Structure 1
């Protein structure tokens, strides 16, 4: 029990050391939040454009070509090509490839 209390005290002490107090000037919290968002929004936009969208595009492209391949092998086996799943993945891929051009205007950033 003493060991658990010691560990708990160490965690609480460490957390209190690393806590950063945030003070808004004259109690105006809204302007402090808007100022922080204004500074961070460009960084968020850059990360999403350069990391998130390409990662999603890569995953969708892999799924699209894998599903296209399995649909082709099903066609060779059964003689009927199933277009629904590859078409949905293709539309999603095109949607995500063009998303950076319009998503920021929709969000107002």
Structure 2
């Protein structure tokens, strides 16, 4: 019984010693993260400006025109035009279209 406990303790200490070495091998983690961020910041900004915002613009534009068309057909049917949903989609579209001009200054990039 004592041998099994001793073997478990020795094994746990060995695993702890092996994994603790890799923790100290990293050095200054904060400076590594900061340097990685400064290197990747330009690439992230380029991807967001050239991929993310145009995709959001396209999706919102399609939803806006579909909702505008369906609101028009509802107007033809009932005689009352519902402005709420097209107005909200238009405001979101304008917000996303203008976001790249001020977003990066807010984030400090």
Query: Which residue does the alignment assign to 1:108?
Result: 108
Any stretches of 5+ residues in structure 2 without a counterpart?
A: 1-21
Query: Which residue does the alignment assign to 2:43?
Result: 43
Q: How does 1:1-109 map to 2 (within 5 A)?
A: 27-109=27-109
Q: CA deviation at 1:25?
A: 8.4
Of structures 1 and 2, the larger Rg is shown by 2
Please identify runs of 4+ aligned residues in structure 1 that moved more than 6 A.
22-26
Any stretches of 5+ residues in structure 1 without a counterpart?
A: 1-21
What TM-score do you get using the length of structure 2 for normalisation? Answer: 0.76
Aligned length: 88
Task: Check 1:49–1:24 CA distance in 2 against 1; reply closer, same or farther (3 A cut).
Answer: farther
Secondary structure of 1:81 counterpart: coil
RMSD value, Cα: 2.0
Q: CA deviation at 1:94?
A: 0.1
